[in-house]
Structures are given as structure tokens and as C-alpha cells.
């Protein structure tokens, strides 16, 4: 096992995300399943990876990333207006509901933001886009 996180490390760690108001958004501790992160595979932003470099197994660290380095800014191109007739009792159009749309390459979840007589506004941005996020990480293992 490696002693500290480097650019090519595979890291097992718990990640807890908190919003600016201090409320928890998500945590791997809920199911006691640490996340496996491969440094340099582009699944994390460079700013996130920079915070991890040098940490050792057993270390904990808390840091805040601005929206652009966390889940990105809200992209207006990811907000779509769908015909109200596409929704029915199986797929009700209710504000706040998350609907998963199948598409080539996988499934895409969207949050219904607005409903009117003719259309339904669906936001396909990440639910945490546009927000600064505080991450608390607990390093379990480094390989």
C-alpha cells in the first residue's frame, strides 16, 4: 500500500458533502460503503484532486469547492421544456419529482421545476450544480 495519495493513487475514502447552510447533501457513511476514487481518471475535478494529494490513510480533511470545481455551474442548455402530453399517471408531472429518461449511452435523471397547461420544465443539471459544496473526506486505504 502507498503511504500517501499521489497523482496515480487508487483511494478508498468516505466522502460527506455539505451545502453552504451546513445541511448534509450526501455521505458514503450512510451505507458504510466508502467511495473508490482513481486519481487522474477525470472523475474528480483538478481542484478536488489537489485537496487530496499528500493525505495518508486515516487522515480526515474538510474543504469547500466553488460550484465550478464541484458539480459545475447551472447550464441553461440542460433545461428542457417538454410537451405536457408526454406525462401521464405512470409519469406524473409534479414539481420536485425526479424523472429518469432513457437515452443512448444510459439514463439521464431530470428534476421537474415547473408545470403549466402546455409544458413541463425539466432540469437535467446535476442537483448540486451552481452551489459551493463542502466536502469532508476520511481516507480509508491508498493503493
What percent of the chain shows pLDDT beyond 90? 78
pLDDT of residue 108: 86
**Section 64-68 average pLDDT:** 96
Instruction: Give the other-Cβ count within 10 Å of 111's Cβ.
Output: 17
Nearest to 128 by CA among 13, 18, 16, 15: 18
| pTM value > 0.85 | no
- Give Cα 100 to chain centroid, integer Å: 16
The pLDDT value given to residue 127: 87
State mean pLDDT over 122-132: 93
- Dihedral angle computed from the Cα positions of residues 4, 10, 13 and 15, in that order, rounded to the nearest 10 degrees: 110
Higher-confidence residue of 16 and 105: namely 16
Amino acid at each position: 500500500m502507498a503511504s500517501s495519495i499521489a497523482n496515480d493513487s487508487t483511494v478508498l475514502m468516505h466522502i460527506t458533502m455539505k451545502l453552504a447552510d451546513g445541511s448534509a447533501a450526501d455521505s458514503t457513511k450512510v451505507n458504510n460503503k466508502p467511495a473508490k476514487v482513481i486519481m487522474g481518471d477525470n472523475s474528480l475535478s483538478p481542484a478536488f484532486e489537489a485537496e487530496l494529494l499528500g493525505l495518508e490513510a486515516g487522515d480526515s480533511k474538510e474543504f469547500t469547492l466553488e460550484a465550478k470545481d464541484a458539480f459545475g455551474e447551472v447550464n441553461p442548455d440542460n433545461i428542457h421544456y417538454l410537451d405536457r402530453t408526454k406525462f401521464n399517471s405512470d409519469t406524473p408531472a409534479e414539481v420536485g419529482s425526479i424523472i429518469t429518461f432513457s437515452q443512448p449511452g444510459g439514463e439521464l435523471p431530470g428534476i421537474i421545476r415547473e408545470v403549466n397547461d402546455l409544458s413541463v420544465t425539466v432540469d437535467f443539471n446535476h442537483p448540486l450544480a451552481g452551489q459551493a459544496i463542502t466536502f469532508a473526506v476520511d481516507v480509508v486505504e491508498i493503493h
